[in-house]
Amino acid sequence: MCLVKSMDSIKTEIEELRKTLRYHSDRYYNDDAPEIEDYEYDMMMRKLKSLEDEHPEYDDPDSPTKRVGGKADNTFESVVHTVRMESLQDAFSEGELYDFEKRVLDVVSDPKYCVEPKIDGLSVSLEYENGIFVRGSTRGDGNVGEDVTGNLRVIRNIPLKLNRDIPFIEVRGEVYMPKKSFDRVIDRQLLNGEKPFKNPRNAAAGSLRQKDSAVTASRGLDIFVFNVQQVEGVTLNSHKESLDFLKELGFNTIPEYTLVDSVSKAVDVIRGIGEKRGELEYDIDGAVIKVDDFSMRAELGSTAKFPKWAIAFKYPPEEKQTKLIDIEIAVGRTGVLTPTAVLEPVHLAGTTVSRATLHNQDFINEKGVNIGDTVTVRKAGDIIPEVLCVNEKCSDGSFVYPTVCPSCGSDVVRENGEAAIRCINPDCPAQLLRNLIHFCSRDAMDIEGLGPSILETFVNNGLISKTQDIYKLTFESIAEANLEGFKEKSINNIISSVENSKKNDLGKLLFALGIRHIGAKAGSLLASHFKNIQAVMNASCDDILEIDGFGAVMAQSVVDFFKNEKSKRLVDGLIESGVNTKSLSVVTDTRFAKKTFVLTGTLPTLKRAEASEIIERFGGKTSSSVSKKTDYVLAGEEAGSKLDKAIALGIEIISEEQFMEMIK
């Protein structure tokens, strides 16, 4: 009985590992949103492989150990790879590299090895006909990827025409985001109130999968090419020869590839790469050893998943102990208070580390972290090092967050179910620029001419120090600042746009105020229900909950916002400046009364906002999700899961043409 139970538990463990690995593989490859470090994933994969080797009776052809992570996203057309884009077997110790050498020497004699850094990015294939770039695709599962030609064309280091007219060549490279580009993208995301990318690898993957190639172009991506997949009209005999050839053609090849005649020398090169990886302008997660000679590679062959002629050494996350000197609280541009550990400097993963993230108060409490403790610090897949644990307690208890914002002195709040503690003062200096950008954006007050860079210039030159200052801008105040590029016409355009924004509906103003959880739709619903801003400010949670579509969190967020004295002063300032604070929406017809519409896909002539406005003018409402309460789904081209759900629920689906008939 014990044996049966033991075997059952092994089978359960294998199945759980497969399930967990599939989940994290999907988060990493297809969502670009990993939840665990690469090292943890690799260790789980290794454990699963070991259990499968010991228990072949539980073999599964669909096991994660037999597949390259990732699949073709149906956003792009599928591409079948003529030459399979294999992944590499991983090694986590130098001993495993010597084992690799033994396996190679069992088959071939006197091999040379090429050693190169392993770039942490997104693997792609580039195809050229007669020297012209014709197609680019992602690796996907190794056999089928996705066509991202348009987005690859905007990466400047990908040549659109080669230096020689080769009949056909397919090369493999790694698209990555340089650290400087990553920093710029993160700054922009924080300003826009977006969730920032976790690290450069995910930023590169997310940027390459954009539907709009202009977005991809703005992200500053780069590429290193490291392999010839197939070529016509040229004979290449070795890996180093092929890399030199790729350079001649105009490709940005993998940096610092080194030819050695033994794995012991390769190990020296790998150690050297590891010592300076923190100084590189791009992320690497290891180094690769490849048999150089192509004829030897053919003899060695491949397994179902890996080539037998190459191995990737993965640098383990380096951990060190040091003293925690202080804990600083910074206020981010979304109002979140973030703790950072100030450390006695320690050398870690090629750089000197003196600061590390502490995430939030829950993390601090869980680890029992306090000033003066000796802590373990790790720098793994993320750019910012983190505190792992306390090794030696030198103080009692844990660090406690301040109850007021360090930037403006306002009370801070923590909403139910959230780890973040945040300042909700709309005039908090730390959040000013982000709040201004949101206030002036198209769906908010739509002040054309006051984009992010101009707002930043105005803030830096003292023209705007709080939101209501936008309406104190004059031609004279801008002209007297003597700012470069601001001529009479551009200044007049800004002043005119500011004046026009005063006429906006109350719904746009409520969204512009940046109330937590209140989007453009919720702002419109508040305006339609309460009619003027004073009524919104005086409303209780119960009053707001009478609005269909509002939950307790949204209602409480509105109440908390208008409790803040600084919010009240902001509204008073806007009223004094002549900004409209009344609802302008008028129901002209009640034919859609008590009817709920869901919009999905791209409509032929109407924008979604225009269709929503018509529906509301005729007494109906729109929702973002399909349910049994939905009356109509207005569907356009490329309608996705909402359309599928509507069909499953038997909800009436209408086209724009039918919709226009309904409002005649």
Torsion of CA 429, 430, 431, 432, to 10 degrees: 40
Q: How distant, in Å, are the alpha carbons of 324, 369, 371, 400 from that of 396? A: 14, 9, 10, 12
Active site residue 118: yes
State the distance between the two ends of the chain, measured CA to CA, in whole angstroms: 76
Find, among 7, 84, 83, the residue nearest to 51 by Cα.
7
- What pairing do the DSSP bridges indicate for beta strands 90-91 and 310-314? parallel
Find, among 515, 330, 465, the residue nearest to 405 by Cα.
330
Helix or strand or coil: residue 605? coil
Cα–Cα distance between 176 and 219 in angstroms, integer? 10
Cα–Cα distance between 510 and 581 in angstroms, integer? 9
Cα–Cα distance between 354 and 385 in angstroms, integer? 9
Letter for the amino acid at 34? P
Find all residues with CB under 8 Å of 659, minimum gap 6, and list them.
Answer: 611, 634
Cα–Cα distance between 251 and 136 in angstroms, integer? 14
Residues β-bridged to residue 425: none
CA 520, 522, 525, 526 torsion-angle sign: negative
The single residue of 19, 47, 102, 118 carrying the catalytic annotation is 118
Q: How distant, in Å, are the alpha carbons of 401, 468, 503, 578 from that of 582? A: 40, 18, 10, 12
Letter for the amino acid at 309? W
Count other C-beta atoms under 10 Å from residue 112's C-beta.
18
Cα–Cα distance between 585 and 580 in angstroms, integer? 13
Catalytic (active-site) positions: 118
